[in-house]
Amino acid sequence: METTLSYRARRGSRAPWFAIALGSSIALVLAFLVLPVLAIFVKTSPARLLASLGESESTEALKLSLETTAIAVAIIVIIGTPAAFLLATRSFPGKAIVVTLVELPLVLPPVAAGIGLLAALGPHGLLGGALGDAHVQLVFQTAGVVVALMFVAAPFYLRQAQSAFASVDRSYMDASRTLGAGQAQTFVRVAIPMARSGLMAGLALAWGRALGEFGATLMFAGSIQGITQTVPLAIYDRFATDFPSALALSAILVIVSASLLLSVKLLSGPEALSGAPR
Amino acid sequence: MLRAELARTVGDIELEVSLRVPAGRCLALAGPSGAGKTTILGLIAGTATPLRGRIVCGEQVWLDTERRIDTPPERRRCGYVFQDYALFPHLCAWRNVAYGLGEVPRSQRRAQALELLERLGLGDRAEASPATLSGGERQRVALARALARRGDVLLLDEPLSALDARTRADATHAVAEILRETEAPVILVTHDFADAALLGDETAVIDRGRIVQQGTASSLAATPGTAFVADFAGAVVLTGVARPAADGLTTVALDGGGQVSATATGPSTGPVAVSVYPWEIVIEPLDAALSSSAQNRLPARVVSVTAVGNRVRIGLQASQPLVAEITQPAARALRLAVGSRVIASWKATATRLIEC
């Protein structure tokens, strides 16, 4: 009788202690991560935000950001999806090295990435001569922004897409093949729909990363208003001279990024997965 | 006619089988899990590649490793019901079926898919997504989808094992009906000898990548070639050493003590396995006078009493474990309980010998 009681007492005292530890750790994480975002909105009045949207420089930066990120993400998805499928479903010698190389930009400082792009694709870079002959100019051009964004954001999509494809059970692909569908048809009609929510999550991550990209764009494409000055570069441009305006622009970037993440999550929600016939 | 000779390493087993299935016949591949049954289906369908092999379906050579022929799965025409059905979760029931109708003009696919579902009694579930279907309904959608392919071969991988006992009876009926109607060779994989006996025209028992015996289910049960087959088919197996005895009988000295006689049709000397069916074993009280014609009498202790339907399975410990199956009234009359001491007896004519 006594042992039961003491056992219960110990269990009783242990459970809340651990629950409190768990609860406070998530509270700390939330406070730390949310506070700066919250501060941007606390320090910006709605009027200032609207006024900032009225300035042509701000709208130009916003338009450029949306355009360049959309193009970069589209190219990443078109080329990256088959590549990720290959990495997820085939084994070949040196695969581990390929996967590591693909993930390398994740750990590369963006500034170094920008320098690397210059060394590779700049006028005096490795491929500079060839690009020049083809009359392709990237440095100080909008196209250069797209290249920088792709370089930095692609691994986010590739990683997520690879694990999404890997989680599709092989028997579904086998079933598709035995039902008369070739490899390409199986990829389009079975693998992509079944990996859809993972692919969408990767797309959201890559897009979010591209929207916030700063270092590589600055080094490779520069910060020319209307041509290469995306929202993060515009924020930095104003930070020294016009802090309230930098705050307002930051608020806009937060809103755009958050609504993007939210809409992608809604799109890949359970309704989209259940596959009701069109 | 489907002919296949296949060899491949699967994990730590060397798979090597040779199969022949005539059109309209069903070969049941039965064996414990891990024996390589599913791999064989994958090799025939082309979703896996063998080390060496040759598959000929009718006039077509699907695979010949010597001649470097390896037809991709989409051109092999196999209706394949996967173990967990592998219904596409993003497509509703009729679209799953229509997926196999790639060769039918687009405008007719829906009608044909609905017709197949109708035939399996699922006409009203055509728009349902797999997630909302019951286990039995999923099985029937998977059957309809495999039939949609109009395969030259039909492969069924454990089509009944994912179902609960109640659904199983109906599902077994559905599968049996399809097997009756199909004109293609059928291979059915199961770990359950009863399913093999029920659905297969012939049964091949597979153990560790080899076919250890092939024949009708009743012939396998009546004359198991190895102790493994006897055990798998449900018989009691005892081990011992045989020697010829008088009157043309064979006497087996059981390992651990006791001896039994058999009207030998198997080996009559050396180590053997003795097999006898649980329902052939008679249980008598310990003090019963020696009055029956049963030659084999082993004193045993009751270790378990389990009701199975209208019968009772009596677990017995003689020098080796035994199982007897008797009726409820008989069990009551003998007042059998765990610990009771009894005599287990059976006729020499019901005793089969298998070489070890």
Whether A76 and A145 map to the same domain: the answer is: yes
- Both A221 and A87 in a single domain? yes
Which CATH number characterizes residue B293's domain?
A: 2.40.50.100
Contacts of A199 in chain B (CB under 8 A): none
Co-location of B165 and B94 in the same domain: yes
Structurally, chain B folds into a number of domains equal to 2
Are residues B184 and B137 located together in one domain of the fold? yes
Pick from B227, B249, B270: which residue ends a domain? Answer: B227
Among the listed residues A208, A170, A207, the one whose alpha carbon sits nearest the alpha carbon of residue A190:
A170
- Per the structure, the count of domains in chain A is 2
User: How large is the ipTM?
Assistant: 0.78
Distance of CA B75 to the CA centre of its chain: 29
Q: Report the CATH number at residue A230.
A: 1.10.3720.10
One domain, residues A36 and A70: no
pLDDT at B205 over 70: yes
Q: Are residues B180 and B257 in the same domain?
A: no
Q: Is B106 on the interface with A (CB under 8 A)?
A: no
Domain identity same for B253 and B167: no
Are A65 and A13 in the same domain? no
Query: How confident is the model over B235-256, as pLDDT tens digits?
Result: 777 888 988 888 888 899 998 8
pLDDT of B264: 66
Considering the domain architecture, whether residues B197 and B270 belong to the same structural domain is answered as: no
- Looking at the fold, whether A35 and A112 belong to one and the same domain comes out as no
How much is the average pLDDT of B295-324?
84
Assess whether B239 and B221 both reside in one domain.
no
Nearest CA in chain B to A273: B90
> Does the residue A278 lie in any domain?
no
Q: Provide the pLDDT for residue B155.
A: 97
Among B202, B227, B252, which residue terminates a domain?
A: B227
Query: Looking at CA atoms only, how far is residue A170 from chain B in angstroms?
Result: 9
User: How many angstroms away from the CA of B267 is the closest CA of chain A?
Assistant: 46
Q: Hey, is A40 helix, strand or coil?
A: helix
Q: How far is B209 from chain A (nearest CA, A)?
A: 21
Owning domain of residue B239: 235-355
CA–CA distance from A237 to each of A39, A211, A247 (Å)? 20, 16, 12
> A174 and B42 in contact by Cβ < 8 A?
yes
Q: Look over chain B and give the mean of its residue pLDDT values, rounded to a whole number.
A: 88
Q: Which of A175, A180, A193 sits opposite B86 (nearest CB)?
A: A175
For residue A48, being part of any structural domain is answered with: no
- Same domain, residue pair A115 and A249: yes
Same domain? For B208 and B249 the reply is no
Look up the CATH number of the domain holding residue B55.
3.40.50.300
- Nearest chain A residue to B45, by CA: A178
Q: Does A275 fall in a domain?
A: no
Question: B203 and B243 in one domain?
Answer: no
Interchain contact B355–A (C-beta under 8 A): no
Test B102 with A273 for CB contact under 8 angstroms: no
pLDDT band at residue B193 under the 50/70/90 scheme: confident
Does B45 reach chain A within 8 Å, measured CB to CB? yes
- Low pLDDT (below 50) residues in chain A: 1-7, 12, 271-278
Which residues of chain A approach chain B closer than 8 Å at the C-beta? 169, 171-172, 174-182, 189-190, 193-194, 196, 273-277
- A144 and A205: one domain? yes
pLDDT on residue A3 = 47
B159/B256 same-domain check: no
Q: B291: distance to nearest CA of chain A, Å?
A: 60
Chains A–B, number of C-beta pairs less than 8 Å apart: 77
Same domain, A96 and A222: yes
Statement to judge: residues A75 and A166 lie in one domain: yes
Question: In terms of residue numbers, what domain contains A12?
Answer: 1-43
Q: Do B99 and A189 touch (CB under 8 A)?
A: yes
**Closest A-chain CA to B90:** A275
Q: What is the mean pLDDT of residues B223-241?
A: 79
